[in-house]
Amino acid sequence: MDSQEGDPRYHFENVKRMLNEIIEHVRGDVEKVRDPKAQALFETTAEVLAGLTKAYDHALAKSEAAWR
């Protein structure tokens, strides 16, 4: 096993990157569709994933008691 693969921070960064890609994608979809319900769902998806991204940021920074 690669030494990076054993480090959770390596995986945190990969997950954050993927989440950010999805956030960008669904926010772009908001502009592409005309259905207000679909737009709301895409924007809600982006907001929820942004919250998860923030949780990964906290884990990386060990800024919350749970991560220390």
Helix (H, G, I), strand (E, B) or coil at 57: helix
pLDDT the model gives residue 2: 64
Q: Whole-angstrom Cα distance, residue 1 to residue 59? A: 23
- How would residue 17 be classed by pLDDT, with cut points 50, 70 and 90? very high
Using pLDDT thresholds of 50, 70 and 90, give the confidence band for residue 13. Answer: very high
Contact call for residues 56 and 12 (beta carbons, < 8 A)? yes
Q: In this predicted model, what pLDDT tens digit does every residue of 22-44 receive, in sequence order? A: 999 999 999 999 999 999 999 99
Give the start-to-end residue ranges of the domains of the chain. 34-61
Share of the chain above pLDDT 70, in %: 96
